[in-house]
Amino acid sequence: MAALMNGFGSLQCKAMVHVEKGHMQASGMAFFSPVNRCAQVHISSIPHFIGAKSVSASQLRMRHKVGSIRASAASCLQDETTKYFDFVVIGSGVAGLRYALEVSKYGSVAIITKAEPHESNTNYAQGGVSAVLCPSDSVESHMQDTIVAGAYLCDEETVRVVCTEGPERVKELIAMGASFDHGEDGRLHLAREGGHSHNRIVHSADMTGREIERALLQAVDNDDNISLFGHHFAIDLLTCQSNGEIYCYGVDSLDAETQKAIRFISKVTLLASGGVGHIYPSTTNPPVATGDGIAMSHRAQAVISNMEFVQFHPTALSDEGLPIKPATRRENAFLITEAVRGDGGILYNQSMERFMTSYDDRAELAPRDVVARSIDDQLKKRGEKYVLLDISHKPREKVLAHFPNIAAECLRHGLDITQQPIPVVPAAHYMCGGVRAGLQGETNVKGLYVAGEVACTGLHGANRLASNSLLEALVFARRAVQPSIDHMVDADVDPSFAKKWARPVLSVSLRDSILSDIIEKTKQARMELQSIMWEYVGIVRSTNRLKHAEWKISDLESEWEEFLFRRGWKPTMVGVETCEMRNLFCCAKLVVKSALARHESRGLHFTEDFPYLEESKRKPTVIFPTHIQELTWSSKPLQKQLQCK
């Protein structure tokens, strides 16, 4: 850890599928003191975290057996509001499920997920998984495409690891029963998307994420050592502090169905909770993507990085341009996959003028940041609300075979994509930044690992290459396994310590009329925050607009918190709507702070005040925890950190 600290500088600081089907374990535990902190933003070079030590399989089996015997006394401490596991996984997308299936071989696992188990960003991923599976392709080529798309901010070692290990991770999915499309020759059909120099996208029509999620959930369902808790909202990580180091021992959650606060005590916690899409009014992310994991980690004093790089997908379905408009507003925008352009789709403005050739030599196959800015420019210049994406010049049978889900959704609204262009508009899609992770998914918080969109591994740099997200999730979920097992074996967890953290207070204790007022006020605040983010922290930014966003968000947050506490809300009180709002405020502020810290335009961050790349600025933005006297409710954990014994 000494090397880690030197590298960072001073770190001061549903239905349930299977409920409790796995055995419950815990063992000894140690502990820590309250530290006030705030976001301090730097642009700096950060080395990788120290890797975990290795341990042989025979040593592991013996040490785990001893640990299990030592831990057996914990079962008598179990009750309906406190649960003990060796591993707790927060999130049920590809990263969380893949990790759980591996660590379940060595201990008990709880997966807690915010809604139904399948409701994740993974389930909505249409395009596929990028991997070098064609003889004419190469790891070096995939690396180069990734680094170019990432505006040369990617960590080269991370890129090499992911591109090298990716093919094996895809083969593992196939072995587990995931079904991908094959060509007439019987080989995997490899598609091509924007930014890729080769056909390397493994896919299942335009519903790849759904197929991966199905296969993984089925495997989890068959694993008796995994317990899956649906409709459990993660509130805050349970942490302790000693000698400048933070330790994580699980998480508090809210069971939204029973309205009970459930505490999960664990030796290891994997955070795989997804992104922050709903800080914006239009996003392709499902409703669960409210930045909970990043906000919880920030409150737990984890290092956060590259939050200015919010990827706007250039082509979400524009309901405004459909012949038959949806009866109600969508909770999340319908994605028109990158693969439509990869298959030859052409972008036109409403005068049917092709415009991408005027912005980039790669035209429709340019990286997403370029395409999104080009569309944004067209919309602003012409005063229009959407552009058109046309694939109708391709053979009907191929269009329907490759994009059946998109075709069906458009047809429901009176549009036949084999004959008519699709109205599209950019929408918030993916967070390239997040909780800073090392090459094995480790964070600066002991016992806390991250994988998937919640993590910032250095793979994506300033802009994610299409279909690299599922790949990254698979690779880092697998890489986090061995260090997690090592940590689990050595962890000394005292089960009785669970009682020392203050318990969350349920909002149902308030009168119905007061609670209704608070929920309504929270909905209004959420819409206002999203409006601020879209207007001032969107695809094209400026220092003046970012500062306005900072002021407006601060005022809105103060007004909202003041209303809550005036109506009887307590600092330790929890409700799904308010906790989501708390996390949205936290993440929005992190995005703005990071954006203000980058004085150049790179990848997804384009600012009118610094419109060019600056080689001296080619470093990640990093938000370190530090001391501060006063914090807003969204920026501090509900319970104080404990002091290690």
pLDDT tens-digit profile of 448-466? 999 999 999 999 999 999 8
Residue 408 CB: number of other CB atoms within 10 A? 12
Residues 490 and 586 in one domain: no
Instruction: Flag whether pLDDT at 72 surpasses 80.
Output: no
Per-residue confidence (pLDDT) for residue 331, from 0 to 100: 85
Gap between the Cα atoms of 64 and 456, Å rounded: 31
Residue 540 CB: number of other CB atoms within 10 A? 15
Average pLDDT, the chain: 86
Residues 307 and 324 in one domain: no
Evaluate whether residue 2 is within a structural domain. Answer: no
Give the pLDDT mean for 376-386: 95
Render pLDDT for 544-569 as a digit per residue (tens, 0 to 9).
Answer: 999 999 999 999 999 999 999 999 99
Q: DSSP string of 502-531?
A: PPPEEGGGS-HHHHHHHHHHHHHHHHHHHH
Give the pLDDT mean for 370-385: 94
Instruction: Flag whether pLDDT at 610 surpasses 60.
Output: yes
Residues 493 and 532 in one domain: no
Per-residue confidence (pLDDT) for residue 192, from 0 to 100: 87
Evaluate whether residue 1 is within a structural domain. Answer: no
Provide the pLDDT confidence category of residue 117 given band limits of 50, 70 and 90. Answer: low
pTM comes to 0.86
CA distances (Å), origin 254, targets 576, 630, 637 = 8, 27, 15
Per-residue confidence (pLDDT) for residue 127, from 0 to 100: 67
Per-residue confidence (pLDDT) for residue 63, from 0 to 100: 39
Instruction: Flag whether pLDDT at 342 surpasses 80.
Output: yes
Whose CA is closest to 641, among 240, 304, 270?
240
Residues 434 and 307 in one domain: yes
Whose CA is closest to 421, among 398, 399, 452?
399
Evaluate whether residue 174 is within a structural domain. Answer: yes
Residues 342 and 410 in one domain: yes
In the chain, % of residues over pLDDT 90: 69
Evaluate whether residue 416 is within a structural domain. Answer: yes
| Residue 294's CATH number | 3.50.50.60
Whose CA is closest to 296, among 335, 239, 342, 228?
239
Render pLDDT for 481-527 as a digit per residue (tens, 0 to 9).
Answer: 999 999 999 887 777 777 889 899 998 778 999 999 999 999 999 99
Provide the pLDDT confidence category of residue 644 given band limits of 50, 70 and 90. Answer: low
Render pLDDT for 617-642 as a digit per residue (tens, 0 to 9).
Answer: 999 999 998 655 457 888 888 877 77
Contacts of 224 (CB under 8 A, 6+ apart): 18, 21, 22
Instruction: Flag whether pLDDT at 125 surpasses 70.
Output: no
Q: How many domains does the chain have?
A: 3
Give the relative orientation of helices 208-221 and 468-479 as an angle to the nearest 10 degrees. Answer: 20
| Residue 400's CATH number | 3.90.700.10
Lowest mean pLDDT segment, chosen from 305-319, 360-374, 407-421, 597-611: 360-374
Evaluate whether residue 20 is within a structural domain. Answer: no
Instruction: Flag whether pLDDT at 170 surpasses 50.
Output: yes
Lowest mean pLDDT segment, chosen from 71-80, 435-444, 512-521: 71-80
Gap between the Cα atoms of 176 and 173, Å rounded: 5
Provide the pLDDT confidence category of residue 96 given band limits of 50, 70 and 90. Answer: very high
- Looking at 478, 499, 520, the residue that finishes a domain is 499
- Looking at 426, 458, 485, the residue that finishes a domain is 426
Provide the pLDDT confidence category of residue 62 given band limits of 50, 70 and 90. Answer: very low
Gap between the Cα atoms of 412 and 160, Å rounded: 43
Whose CA is closest to 237, among 259, 260, 256, 253?
253
Q: Quickly tell me which residue has 């569309």 as its tokens.
A: 375
Sign of the CA dihedral running 400, 403, 405, 411: negative
| Residue 615's CATH number | 1.20.58.100
Provide the pLDDT confidence category of residue 393 given band limits of 50, 70 and 90. Answer: very high
Render pLDDT for 201-260 as a digit per residue (tens, 0 to 9).
Answer: 998 877 787 899 899 999 999 999 999 999 999 999 999 987 888 999 999 999 999 999
Sign of the CA dihedral running 154, 158, 161, 165: negative
Instruction: Flag whether pLDDT at 27 surpasses 50.
Output: no
Evaluate whether residue 632 is within a structural domain. Answer: no
Per-residue confidence (pLDDT) for residue 3, from 0 to 100: 31
Instruction: Flag whether pLDDT at 471 surpasses 60.
Output: yes
Instruction: Flag whether pLDDT at 20 surpasses 60.
Output: no
Coil/strand/helix, residue 97: helix
Per-residue confidence (pLDDT) for residue 1, from 0 to 100: 30
Residues 463 and 530 in one domain: no
Evaluate whether residue 494 is within a structural domain. Answer: yes
For residue 455, the cross-strand partners are: 435
Q: Which amino acid does the sequence have at 476?
A: F
Whose CA is closest to 473, among 121, 117, 154?
121
Per-residue confidence (pLDDT) for residue 121, from 0 to 100: 56
Plot region of 225 (φ>0 → left; ψ -120 to 50 → alpha; else → beta): alpha
For residue 240, the cross-strand partners are: 247, 642
Q: How many CA atoms lie within 13 A of 282 on its CB side?
A: 21
Q: Please give the residue range of the domain that contains residue 248.
A: 82-311+430-499
Tell me which of 79 and 153 has the higher pLDDT.
153
Residue 232 CB: number of other CB atoms within 10 A? 25
Residues 192 and 290 in one domain: yes
Tell me which of 5 and 189 has the higher pLDDT.
189
Residues 96 and 220 in one domain: yes
Per-residue confidence (pLDDT) for residue 66, from 0 to 100: 33
Give the pLDDT mean for 385-400: 96
Gap between the Cα atoms of 15 and 217, Å rounded: 13
Evaluate whether residue 40 is within a structural domain. Answer: no
Per-residue confidence (pLDDT) for residue 492, from 0 to 100: 76
Contacts of 616 (CB under 8 A, 6+ apart): none
Provide the pLDDT confidence category of residue 22 given band limits of 50, 70 and 90. Answer: very low
CA distances (Å), origin 582, targets 198, 235, 428, 567, 638 = 43, 10, 20, 17, 11
Per-residue confidence (pLDDT) for residue 490, from 0 to 100: 86
Gap between the Cα atoms of 525 and 580, Å rounded: 11
Residues 127 and 162 in one domain: yes
Give the catalytic positions in this structure: 368
Instruction: Flag whether pLDDT at 28 surpasses 60.
Output: no
Contact (Cβ atoms closer than 8 angstroms) between residue 441 and residue 479: yes
Provide the pLDDT confidence category of residue 340 given band limits of 50, 70 and 90. Answer: very high
Residues 458 and 398 in one domain: no
Residues 242 and 110 in one domain: yes
Gap between the Cα atoms of 115 and 255, Å rounded: 10
Residues 605 and 559 in one domain: yes
Tell me which of 61 and 80 has the higher pLDDT.
80
- Looking at 426, 447, 464, the residue that finishes a domain is 426
